[in-house]
Structure 1
Amino acid sequence: MSLSTHVLNAATGRPAADLPVRLEAEVGTVLAQGRTDADGRIKDLPAPAAGVHRLIFETGDLSPFYPSVTIAFTVTDPAQHYHVPLLLSPYSFSTYRGS
């Protein structure tokens, strides 16, 4: 299993580089933290076990309304790859399960 994320600044159409991101277990234990690369990606997050996890994006520099965005997701098959992207604009955001 592997886990990755990608953040796109939808207002500019550009990747959100150097954005702080943290991976937490359901109980709040921090499993990893890092910053997006120049392409807005973190490709090498540790593979979490089955269960509920959260990616927390510190978005305050990109959004005057959302200081952070939390995406909770469930790992059902630890052998699969999970990609959790974030599309962010100043007053909205969306996500989906990527490939």
Structure 2
Amino acid sequence: MGILTTHVLDTYHGVPAAGVPIELARLGGTRETIVRTVTDADGRCAAPLLANDTFRTGQYELAFDLEAYFRGKGVVLPDPPFLSTVVIRIGIADPAGRYHVPLLASPWSYSTYRGS
């Protein structure tokens, strides 16, 4: 069975990003929210976002609320902030695959890749 995980690194402060609100949605005919969670002290989620019966091939959207995170850390952001919610759309093609989506973020930039 496949698995989907994520973690967030705060490149502005050089630390794991604890407390980032994340929403995962399955895309298709309609947008279906699968899970809402928050990163832990290590910048990771307590459980996989998708695993076992919830893991299926298809298109998904990960939404990371960077505005809430950086404001919560006391970073002075413009109004509106340059980055508010970072949305990453991914495709899961392998029903037995391991998909890990790290997010490296600052108030002004982000990058991602498929990790292991």
- TM-score, reference length from structure 2: 0.80
Amino acid at match of 2:57: A
Q: Percent of aligned positions with the same letter in both sequences?
A: 44
Contact 2:66 2:107 in 1 (8 A): no
Match of 1:45 among 30, 34, 49: 49
Greater helix fraction, Structure 1 or Structure 2: 2
Q: Which residue of 2 aligns with 1:2?
A: 3
Q: Residue 44 of structure 1: CA displacement?
A: 1.7
User: Distance between the aligned counterparts of 1:30 and 1:80, measured in 2?
Assistant: 21
Structure 2: gaps of 5 or more residues = 71-76
Q: Residue 4 of structure 1: CA displacement?
A: 0.6
Structure 1: gaps of 5 or more residues = none
1:28 pairs with 2:38: no
Which structure would you say has the larger Rg? 2
Counterparts of residues 13-92 of structure 1 (less than 5 Å):
13-26=14-27, 27-42=30-45, 43-47=47-51, 48-61=55-68, 62=70, 64-92=81-109
Q: Which residue of 1 aligns with 2:115?
A: 98
Q: Deviation above 3 Å: which 4+ runs of structure 1?
A: none
